[in-house]
């Protein structure tokens, strides 16, 4: 009996039961064997269909999963927990083991949707749709338009025609060749209003070079080690705004202070403005280049 299970658990158990009975079962049999109502079985099957699986019915009203059908509605699978995703992987292996859909589904689940690190933003359907289209463009080597992209560097909101070639969802970054500026750029997925897939193919693949991103999500060829101390309020702001910095931060010897040590981009983009915004609650230990950068930026400020 699974009446005390959550809706998602019911869906997964119905799915796994159908996987284990490839010749099909009537809804009555599913009701009896799983202890569900007829309405609950129907709702579970609809959820399974909406996740992309094909359900067929024979002349005897027996329902079964049809293997070999290409699955497209992948983003809905992201509403499952890690444990539930593992059940889905098992189901995928059984149902789609003789088709390309198996690898497509498992790759989506295993790699590009790391929403535990990214946060609740990744559970929103518009965000998932952007990720899905960017990944599709990369796989098919096609261009996309990043509509109404909000750029911090240029202080502008504009459409960007780009060739995306490297997607890093945990860090909210896609690296792409910008057709307008004719340069490699990184773009934050969260700053795109939407993504439009174009028929145009890549024309500059030879220039697609993956560059590392620092914990402030800044892509740069050169990185440098920095060390600074901060008070509790700054630490809270740091890890909330830049979750990846948590791995480089630990309590300092002095109560109420925290230490950050790690590699950041050599131009101190993002980290510089963050530190300037917290004034005396931060102490830069090294390098001198970071201190010089902060002093230079402070002189530019208008009060």
Cis-peptide, bond into residue 277, ω within 30° of zero: no
pLDDT in tens, 135-153: 899 999 999 999 999 987 6
- CATH entry 3.40.50 includes domain 122-207: no
Contact 245, 238 (CB under 8 A): yes
Pick the CATH number of 7-112 from 1.20.1740, 1.10.10, 1.10.730, 1.10.3470: 1.10.10
In this structure, what token pair is assigned to residue 269?
């983009």
Contact 188, 135 (CB under 8 A): no
pLDDT in tens, 173-220: 899 999 998 988 889 888 999 999 999 999 999 999 887 778 887 877
- CATH entry 3.30.70 includes domain 223-300: yes
**For the chain, which residues score pLDDT lower than 70?**
1-6, 51-52, 67-125, 153-154, 170, 302-303
């Amino acid at each position: 009996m699974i009446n005390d299970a959550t809706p998602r658990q019911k869906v997964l158990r119905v799915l796994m039961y159908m996987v284990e009975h490839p010749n099909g079962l009537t809804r009555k049999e599913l009701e009896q064997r799983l202890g569900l109502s007829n309405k609950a079985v129907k709702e579970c099957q609809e959820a399974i269909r909406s996740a992309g699986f094909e359900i067929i019915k024979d002349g005897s009203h027996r329902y079964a999963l049809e293997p070999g059908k290409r699955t497209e509605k992948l983003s809905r699978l992201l509403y499952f927990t890690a444990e539930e995703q593992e059940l889905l992987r098992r189901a995928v292996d059984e149902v789609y083991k003789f088709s390309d859909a198996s690898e497509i589904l498992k790759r989506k689940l295993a790699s590009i949707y790391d929403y535990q690190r990214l946060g609740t933003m990744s559970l929103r359907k518009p965000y998932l749709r952007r990720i899905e289209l960017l990944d599709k463009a990369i796989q098919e080597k096609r261009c996309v338009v990043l509509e109404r992209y909000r750029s911090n560097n240029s202080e502008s909101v504009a459409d960007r025609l780009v060739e995306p070639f490297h997607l890093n969802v945990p860090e909210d970054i896609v690296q792409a060749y910008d057709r307008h500026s004719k340069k490699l750029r990184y773009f934050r997925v969260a700053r795109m209003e939407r993504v439009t897939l174009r028929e145009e193919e890549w024309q500059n693949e030879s220039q697609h070079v993956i560059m590392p991103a620092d914990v402030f999500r800044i892509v740069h060829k050169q990185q440098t080690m920095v060390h600074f101390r901060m008070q509790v309020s700054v630490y809270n702001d740091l890890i909330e705004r830049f979750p990846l910095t948590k791995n480089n931060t630990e309590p300092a010897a002095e109560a109420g202070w925290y230490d950050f040590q790690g590699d950041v981009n050599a131009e101190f983009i993002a980290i510089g403005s963050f530190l300037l915004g917290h004034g005396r609650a931060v102490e830069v230990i090294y390098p001198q280049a970071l201190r010089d950068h902060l002093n230079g930026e402070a002189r530019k400020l208008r009060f």
